[in-house]
Each structure stands twice: as C-alpha cells, then as structure tokens.
Structure 1
Amino acid sequence: MPGLRERVGRLVGSPVESVADLGSSHAWTLHRAVLADGREVFVKAASDQAGVFAAEAAGLRWLGEAGPGAPVPDVLAADDRMLVLPWLPSAPPTPEAAERFGRELAALHTGARPDAYGAPWDGYIADLPLDNTLDDRGWARWYAERRLEPFLRRARRDLPADDVRLVERVMAEIEDIAGPPEPPSRVHGDLWSGNVQWTDGRAMVIDPAAHGGHRETDLAMMALFGTPHLERILAAYDEAAPLAAGWRDRVPLHQLHPLLVHVALFGASYRASLVDAARSALG
C-alpha cells in the first residue's frame, strides 16, 4: 500500500525502519514493521475497512478492560485504514501455557461482566457485519435473533430448504436447549485456533468479534477447528470458573453461528458440518 511506512510512523509516533509484507486476509494486508525505537509491531491495513478496524480496536480494548492479566494485546494505534498492535513472537504451545490460558480466559469471562448481550459498537466477523444490538432479555433469544437468523439469511442461497428448516427449528426451540441462564460475559466471539496466538509462555487472543455473550461460545469455537492442548485449557478453565452441567452437549448449538458464517463466506462446503451441528443441538 503506498505510503504505508509513513502512515504507520505517524500513527505510532515513531519513524519506521522497515516493513515486511506478510500476505493478506479477506480485504486487508498484513505487515510486520520495525520502528526506529526498536519496537516491532503488527500492522493490518486496507483502503476501505474503517468499520472493521474500529470494531476490532474497540473489541480488543474492551476485552482488556476485564481485568489485569487479560490475554489481550494492547491497541497501539488505529484509524480508518490501519490497525497497529504489538508484535507477538510465536512460540510452541505448551501444556503449561494452555493451562495458564484456561485460567486467564475464565477470568476474562467472569470479571467485569457487561450489563447486556451485544456491544455498543457495530460488529464484524471477518468482513461481514454483526448485529450487536444491546439486549438484556436473555442470551437464547438474542443469539437466535442477532446471530443465527441474520446469517441463515446470508447462507440460505447455499442451503436446501430442508437445511434451512432445520436451523429454523433450532431457533424455535432454543429456549429449551440453551441450558441454564447465565449473565453476559465479555467474549472474544471468533475464538478459533488461528485467533489464539501462542507467545512467550502464554496465549493471547487476536482478531475478536467481541461482544457481551455466553462464555460457552468461546469454548465451543475453540473446539470447532481444533486448538492445541484444548482439554488442558478446558480443565483449567472449569477449575477456575466451573461450567454449568451439560455444557459439552451444548457445544453444537454455539457452533451453529460460526458454521453459518462459513457457509455465507465460503459456500456449501460447510453445509454437512452445519447440518450435523443443528441435529446435535436438537438432540
């Protein structure tokens, strides 16, 4: 992107020594920059993603407000075309780091809980908009109305009518299958393994679709595409903040939204997984 080095320098208040291109994701490019003061930073840049960057910056800052030790990087700078974060050097995922992450995620979910589901900013997952309308009526209806129904509309062009009706049945019965009520938690909202960055003896979360939601959602997302040492993470989490009985049975319900997102983004290749999750959610 023309002028990237100069824009980064102006945003962070330091000249930039070098920039390395790391490829692209969705509509943005990714970069690693070295500043004149020796710091290394991660840069996400695009020409027309103001809403996405604003939501990501707001979400990271909000998750970080859950308390000291939250596994969330600081936002160094953000504007309508760029997001700058500290560079997180990669490290192998270890059992000890996994257990620490489980405890820190539990503290994130249970500390400084929000008053409602949703968030006071326009949300995004990847580059698709999320309806973050605040609602204190309860998670089940909020999830059906703000997460499942909008993405079922987006995905239905790639789904046969029977599959659409199956997801609609989940929405109709959601009060009966959502489990015991829980207060809202600060959740990452897109916590697949690619958004867990293992670094220096711990794990940090990046690229959030953050909002007030159900804490089981983040755990279900980690299970969807596989996360290293997941059982250690879950055991440490459950010890620090015990989960409601039957939470494993509700994993497919919480996976329905990300699977609908994947159908909307990538088409019918995710249809079978979506159908399996809907059937499992219904029992």
Structure 2
Amino acid sequence: MRTTSSAQTKDPVSGWIEDNFNQGKVVNQRAMGSSGWSSAYCYETDQGAKYFVKLARGRDAGMFKGEALGLQAMYATQTLRIPNAYHCGELSSVPGGRGLGGSGSFIIMEYLNFGGTFKQEELGRQLAEMHMAKPHFEEAREGRFGFPVDNTIGGTPQPNPWTASGGTAAWVAFFKEHRLQHMLQLAGDARLTALGNTLCANLEQLFDGVEVTPSVLHGDLWSGNVSAVDGQPAIYDPAVYFGHAEAEFGMSWCAGFSDSFYRAYHSVLPKAKGFEARKTLYKLYHYLNHYVLFGSGYYSQCLSSLTELTRTMR
C-alpha cells in the first residue's frame, strides 16, 4: 500500500484532524481498501495518533451521517467495542475540499486495531447488554421506534421515521410499513407481494403476548461486520435504528453465531415465546434485501420464508 506524506499533499481532512485534536500534524495517509462507493484510509500524526477515514467522491454526506449517528448510538452504550465517530461532512464545506478530486464527503472515526479472536459468549452477552442499554436519543427513551435519519441496508434505502408512540402495536406497524412493505415494493414480484400482503394483514399474531421496547440495533450484524480488538468482540459498518431486539438476528444465517453465543445472550435477555417464528420474520427482511440487491439467487429463501410464515396465520 502506498503511503503519502501530508507535507507533500495537504488535504482538508488532515486540516480538520489537526484543528480539532491536539495530536500534532498529520504525516501519513495510508490506503486501507475500498468498497463500491467509498475509500478507506488511516491518517497518522507525528505524535502517533491514528484516525480511520472514509472518503466518498461524488456523494453527499447522507450515508456517512447515518453511519456516524449509528456508531455514536452504539458507542454510548459502553458495551461492545465500537469505533466512535468524530465527524462527517461534505468535502466542499472544508477549505480545499475539492482538491481531493471533486465534490464528495468524508467521515472521521476512531481507529481500532482489528484482528485476533474473541469468545462467542462474550459477543452474546455484550450484545444483549447493548440491546438493554438506555437509548441514546430522547425519542427512543420515550419508547418510540425509528432513528433520527434514514440510512441504508447494504445499498438499499432504509426508512426510519420515528413512530408517534411506543408499544408492541407501534413496532408491528413500523416493521410492516417501513421494512416488509418497503422491501416488497422494491422487489416488485407479484407472488412475493401477494404472500407479503397476507403476512402483513396478520402480523400481530406473531407478537401475541410480547412486549416490545426500543433497543439500539446494529441492523446488519453478519460475520463481515464483527471482529476482535484486544481479544474483545467489536462490531462496525452498521445500519442502526431503534427496534425490537430480536430483529438483530435477521442476518443470523450468515453471522456464524454459536450455541454459546445464544446461551450467553439469552442469559441476559431471556427468550420470549414465539422467538423462532419471529426470527424467520426478521430473516425475511434481509432475504428480501438480498433479492433486491443481488437478484434471483435469493428468491427461494424469500418465497420459503413467506410461505412458512403465512401457513401459520389463522
């Protein structure tokens, strides 16, 4: 990986770091990879401080704002290791920002040295503690579901309007409209939509006797977004909102959670009646998203989940 000296090329992200942290001058920006829409770097100062930076050229700061607020909401629980988000903004709003290659946006966050292993039971216990923590935002403390901003699940828009009230009925209405119906509309398949309409018309049955309160959710918890820092479990790259804690297991089909993980999780947050059926429901949301993103390879999972869930409806 090529290292560039900030003494040779001064950029506005370096300037923001130097102006807002008493950690000396930025001397290196080391490339750390890229995704389909952003590039990642490690910015290092002459005092040895490191910061993790993402740049997205040609995009506004909307996606980074959702990521920053989500990281901050999880970080505030002081449970799992979460990279804290320090700042995000438009490159054009920073003097010299367009010198990084045109318009775009950036986010600056805590640099964590990911690597090694962690205990599955620690991940389960600490995740349950995160779900039980006092919410970071006033709306969620009032019992409402949603998030201050819309964000994305993968590359798919994820609407998060705050519900007007709390309680299980409010959560069911939120999940019905802003998760299932939203994703079914994007999928645009008549057979899936017909089954989905039946499911939505009877969704309350899956929550009979269950009291749902807002938990901060990572929202996209699979093995690629879990790592270790100093032997402790860490999670990142979220799609955060406040919802039913069980919805966190929607990506469990590719998360690699062990039996010890679930035992530890439910020792803190006991399993409620109907957990397995709702787990199928929450997996359905992510199967639908993968169908929207990646196509027909995920159609059978969507169809079988909808068929299984609607078969139980009275």
> Measured at CA, do residues 258 and 15 of structure 1 come closer, stay the same or move farther in structure 2, by a change above 3 Å?
farther
User: Does 1:11 find its partner at 2:16?
Assistant: yes
In structure 2, the CA distance between the partners of 1:37 and 1:273, relative to structure 1 (3 Å rule), is: farther
Contact 2:31 2:42 in 1 (8 A): yes
Q: 1:268 aligns with which of 296, 300, 303?
A: 296
The question of whether the paired residues in 1 share the 8 Å contact of 2:221 and 2:255 is answered with no
How far off is 1:266 after superposition?
1.6
Give the letter aligned to residue 79 of structure 2: G
Q: How does 1:166-245 map to 2 (within 5 A)?
A: 166-179=195-208, 180-221=210-251, 223-227=252-256, 229-245=257-273
TM-aligned CA deviation for residue 237 of structure 1: 0.9
Which SS does the other structure have where 1:76 is aligned? strand
Distance 1:203 1:280 in 2: 34
Conserved in 2, the CA contact under 8 Å of 1:11 and 1:77? no
Distance in 2 separating the partners of 1:28 and 1:142? 30
4+ aligned runs moved over 4 Å, structure 1: 2-5
Q: CA deviation at 1:138?
A: 2.2
CA apart distance, 1:5: 6.4
Higher relative contact order (CA 8 A, sep 6+): 1
Are 1:130 and 2:130 an aligned pair? Answer: no
Report the CA distance between 1:122 and its aligned residue.
Answer: 2.5
Q: CA offsets, 1:154-207, max 9 Å, x none?
A: 111xx3x22221222222221112452311111111112211122211111211
- 1:102 to 2:112 alignment: no
Secondary structure, counterpart of 2:306 in structure 1: helix
Provide the rounded CA distance (Å) in 2 between the counterparts of 1:281 and 1:55: 31
% same residue: 27
Kept in 2: contact 1:139–1:181 (CA 8 A): no
Q: How large is the RMSD of aligned CA atoms in angstroms?
A: 2.2
Amino acid at match of 1:141: A
**Cα distance in structure 1, aligned partners of 2:89 and 2:227:** 23
Flag the 1:281–1:72 CA change in 2: closer, same or farther, 3 A. farther
CA contact (8 A) 1:6 1:16 kept: no
Aligned amino acid, residue 101 of structure 1? L
TM-score normalised by structure 1 residue count: 0.88
Q: Is 1:139 the equivalent of 2:168?
A: no
Distance 1:178 1:272 in 2: 25
Question: Match of 2:67, as an amino acid?
Answer: E
Partner residue of 1:92?
Answer: 116
The 2-side partners of 1:64 and 1:10 are apart by 25
Superposed, 1:241-256 pairs within 5 Å as 241-256=269-284
Structure 1 CA distance for aligned equivalents of residues 301 and 174 of structure 2: 23
Unaligned runs of 5+ in 1: none
5+ residue gaps, structure 2: 19-23, 91-104
How many residues matched? 274
Q: 1:17 to 1:231 in 2, by over 3 A?
A: farther
Q: 1:57 aligns with which of 59, 68, 78?
A: 68
Please identify the structure whose Cα radius of gyration is greater. 2
Question: 1: distance between equivalents of 2:259 and 2:116?
Answer: 17
Tell me if the contact between 1:74 and 1:85 (Cα under 8 Å) persists in the aligned partners: yes
